Structure 1
Amino acid sequence: MKKILIVEDEEELANNISEILSNLDYKVAAIVDNAKNALEFLESNEVDLVLMDILIHGDLDGIDLAYKIREKYNLPLVFSTAYSGTEYLERISSEIHEGYLLKPFSLDSLKTAIFFGLKRHEEKSGKENRAKGSLKIMDKGYLVPVPYSEIVYLKADGLYTKVYTKAKSYLVRDILKSFEEKLPADIFLRVHKSFLVNISFIASFNAKKVNLGETSIPIRRGLYKELMGKLNV
């Protein structure tokens, strides 16, 4: 069971969040309302994620606390704030967090933020290992080793397959099933007869489609529950 540290100075809200997280099968490690207590708790306790308000009691705000946590611990951080002004959003638009919530937030948005916060952190931690694997593609007479971590999805196109990466796309004379057999099943999933996706790029999904950033891809009937299990939702 994943353990979460809540850093929140609104006592009633903190207790509500704690109750919701417990119902979602997370363990609330502690609730603190300032940076000093948060750092003291982390010194002697292990947690899996920190859910943190930006404006907290004490001299350090949540963003300053995030920098201090990142100096010592490899932990995912999810911010929560009631402020949507540029001043705050610019300060948190960096690599110091895995997500943020705008108050007031719903149960679903909290659930999603925590899930993807943990998932993004796992992706960052495993990035180096995943990059060691690559798909060899012939492009203009050259053999190009494309890292698995760069491949977003593959699309069947008759006897060819289009391979879409973060930077460009390739057209390869081979069927999609062949790629499905080559690529690691823990990273790539055949969501539709015509599509094979890198699950680490799935931003959101429902019973009809998955969203990979700006790209939406249909999913086959009956895949929704399998996808939920694959992503540990």
Structure 2
Amino acid sequence: MKKILIVEDEAELANNIGEILSNLDYKVAAIVDNASSALEFLEKNEVNLILLDILIHGDLDGIDLAYQIREKYNLPIVFSTAYSGTEYLERISSDIHEGYLLKPFTMDSLKTAVFFGLKRHEEKSTKETKAKGSLKIMDKGYLVPVPYSEIVYLQADGLYTKVFTKAKSYLVRDILKSFEEKLPSEQFLRVHKSFLVNISFVASFNAKKINLGETNIPIRRGLYKELIDKLNV
């Protein structure tokens, strides 16, 4: 019987979900409402899937908790959220979850999300594992391991650096050059004195700027040819 950890800060909803999952022949491993309790439980117990609310109690939200879980455990995650805006949902990286549920959801949608969450994770596990590695960032007193694959670009801001991921951004007290030395050179390129870019997110570029989807970043003079070589264009 598959065991599911429920991370949900609405007690009544969490209990309802647990009852539905039990009726669907899943075992509810535990119900917690914050990141610390979830991580503590995972240290001592085995689960097969995590049903994770994005807005939970405590300093870490569900997205940051997902990063923490991905760093230590090979477990499928299904997000639950009350936010239906496409812009918000697109910020939830597909690399840190196997599905999401839009609140309020039905028994059928919960059943489907959990079933395919487990199935997608099994399929991912059979494929070649991506290059591992993460950038350790202090955020609200917690060390958040942000996978390299999640980082879109970094921007210098005086003695600080802004780290932009697909899910959210962080402000870190460290200069950009320090990050340039930490991140793998085959994946990240200093395209400007103020910008360090993950080249896998480059959608298009010319001699003056790089398009990273909704963000345009200037590139330093003479970098155009190097960028072409880097991207194997």
Question: Which band: TM-score by shorter chain?
Answer: 0.5 to 0.7
Q: For residues 71 and 128 of structure 2, what CA distance do their matches in structure 1 show? A: 20
Question: More relative contact order in 1 or in 2 (CA 8 Å, sep 6+)?
Answer: 2
Structure 2: gaps of 5 or more residues: 130-233
Shift of 1:128: 4.0
RMSD: 1.3
Shift of 1:91: 2.3
Correspondence for 1:34? 34
How many residue pairs end up in the alignment? 129
Q: For residues 84 and 128 of structure 1, what CA distance do their matches in structure 2 show? A: 33
Correspondence for 1:93? 93
The code of the aligned residue for 1:26 comes to Y
The code of the aligned residue for 1:47 comes to V
Shift of 1:86: 4.1
1:1-233 map, 5 Å:
1-128=1-128
Residues 63, 91 of structure 1: 8 Å contact kept: no
Correspondence for 1:212? none
Shift of 1:87: 4.8
Shift of 1:95: 0.7
Q: For residues 93 and 75 of structure 2, what CA distance do their matches in structure 1 show? A: 17
Q: For residues 95 and 102 of structure 2, what CA distance do their matches in structure 1 show? A: 18
TM-score calculated relative to the size of structure 1: 0.54
Structure 1: gaps of 5 or more residues: 130-233
Q: For residues 60 and 66 of structure 1, what CA distance do their matches in structure 2 show? A: 10
Q: For residues 75 and 54 of structure 2, what CA distance do their matches in structure 1 show? A: 17
Q: For residues 78 and 69 of structure 2, what CA distance do their matches in structure 1 show? A: 12
Shift of 1:84: 1.3
TM-score calculated relative to the size of structure 2: 0.54
Q: For residues 87 and 41 of structure 1, what CA distance do their matches in structure 2 show? A: 32
Q: For residues 2 and 90 of structure 1, what CA distance do their matches in structure 2 show? A: 29
Q: For residues 56 and 64 of structure 2, what CA distance do their matches in structure 1 show? A: 11
The code of the aligned residue for 1:94 comes to S
Based on CA coordinates, which of the two structures has the bigger radius of gyration?
A: 1
Q: For residues 65 and 88 of structure 1, what CA distance do their matches in structure 2 show? A: 17
**Deviation string for 1:70-93 (max 9, x for gaps)?**
000000000000011245313213
Moved runs in structure 1, 4+ residues, more than 3 A?
none
